[in-house]
Amino acid sequence: MKVLVTGGAGFIGGALVRHLLAQGCAVVNADILTYAASPEALAAWQASPDYEFVNADVCDAAAMAAVFARHQPDAVAHLAAESHVDRSIQGPAAFIRTNVTGTATLLEAAHGYWSRLPDERQQRFRFLHVSTDEVFGTLGPGDPPFTEASPYAPRSPYAASKAASDHLARAWAETYGLPVLVSNGCNTYGPWQYPEKLIPLMIARALAGEALPVYGDGRQVRTWLHADDHATALAAILERGAPGETYLIGSRDEHQNIDLVHRLCTLLDERHPEGAPHARLVAHVSDRAGHDRRYAVDPAKVEHTLGWRPGWAFEAGLAATVDWYLAHNDWAQARAAAPTVAPQRRAAE
C-alpha cells in the first residue's frame, strides 16, 4: 500500500511515517516544513525506495493535485495542521488557513483523484482525517469521557479550526462519497516533539535552569498517549476502519498538569542530579484565555472494533521520553530558544 501522509515531518506525522515504512508500506510525505517540522526524525529512511518527500503546502491546490497525479496513493493520512493553542490565540488566521482551507483543498484534490480511479481501487481507497479531542470542549471533574457521539463545543481558535476541518471531511464523505475516516486523539508525547508543548518544554527549560511556567493552578487534566501508540492506532484505522466512521484514540491515562510537571522533575532529579531539585523551578503564571479544564476520551470503539491497544505504559513511556530528550538536548535547546512565543506564556499543552 502507498500512503500519502500530509504533515509527515511533524511530531505525530513523523511517528506514523516511521511506523508505516517499518510495516512495509510505501510513503509519500507532503510537508511544507514549518517551524515545528523535524525532517531529521526521518533521516534513517531518506535513502529508502519506499519513501519520498515532497515539499508542498496543503493549501496549494495545484501542488496537491500534482502529488496525487504523480504518486497515485492508495490512501491518505491527513495530519498537516497548526496545532498549538497559544499560537492560535495570538494569530488565528494561520490556523484557519492551514486547518480549514488546507483541509478543503486536500479534500478537493483527493476527490478529483479518487473519482477517476478504477472501481477496485476506488473501493480500497481511504482518506483518514486526523483531528483532536479538543473539538469537544471541556469536561467537568465527574463527567464521563468523550465518545464518538459527543457534541462539538470548541473553545479556542485551534479547536474551532479543527472542528471545522472535521465537518469538512464528513461533508465530502456525505456529499461526494469519498471514503473518509476521522480520528480524534488525546494529548500525545514522545521523541521529536517541538518544545512548545508541555512535556518537551518543561524538560528543555529544566535542563537550562529556567522557570517551568504552569498555567493557573495547574489542575487541568489531560489524557496522555505515546506517539508510537498514536501511530499504530492511525495505521489500524487506515487498514481496518470503516469509511464514514469516527474513532477516538486515547489511553485512559489522565493526569493533572501540575502532577505531570512534578513527575518530570523527579525523573530529571534522578538523571540530572546537578540541577536538582528541579521542582524549585516551577512557577505558576496567569491562566490562558479559555483554558479547557479537562479532556478525556473513551477509546472503547477503536479497541473493540479494530483490536488496538496502546503498547506503552505511561510511566515507562514518560521515562523513555525524558531519556530521549536528555540524549538530544542540543536539538531541544536550539528549538526551545526560538523567540517565537513570549517565554512567560510558553506553558503549553
Per residue in 81-99, pLDDT (tens digit) is: 999 999 999 999 999 999 9
Nearest to 261 by CA among 291, 289, 320, 220: 220
**C-alpha cell read off for 86:** 497559544
Per cent of the chain over pLDDT 70 is 96
Closest by CA position to 155, among listed 133, 170, 172: 133
pLDDT in tens, 225-241: 999 999 999 999 999 99
Q: How sure is the predictor about 348, in pLDDT bands with cuts at 50, 70 and 90?
A: very low
Span 119-150, pLDDT tens digits: 999 999 999 999 999 999 999 999 999 999 99
Q: Which of 52, 57, 86, 158 is catalytic?
A: 158
343 pLDDT above the threshold of 70: no
Give 1-50 pLDDT, tens digit per residue. 999 999 999 999 999 999 999 999 999 999 999 999 999 999 999 999 99
Which CATH architecture describes the domain 2-190+225-253+291-312? Answer: 3-Layer(aba) Sandwich (3.40)
Average pLDDT over residues 72-80: 98
pLDDT (average), residues 315-321: 98
Query: Which pLDDT score is estimated for 342?
Result: 36
Higher pLDDT, 347 or 309: 309
Phi, psi of 128 (to 5 degrees): -100, 115
pLDDT the model gives residue 338: 61
CA distance 308 to 327: 30
Q: What is the mean pLDDT of the chain?
A: 95
Mean pLDDT value of segment 185-197:
96
pLDDT value, residue 149: 97
Active-site hit among 57, 134, 253, 349: 134
Cell numbers given for 180:
473518509
pLDDT exceeds 90 at position 333:
no
pLDDT band at 335 (very low <50, low <70, confident <90, very high): confident
CA separation (Å) from 345 to 95, 173, 198, 208, 223? 19, 39, 12, 17, 22
Active site residue 133: yes
DSSP-derived secondary structure letter, 258: H
Distance CA 299, CA 346 (A): 30
**Per annotation, catalytic residue among 86, 133, 166, 196:** 133
**CA–CA separation, 197 vs 209, rounded Å?**
18
The residue among 312, 203, 331 whose CA lies nearest residue 267 is 203
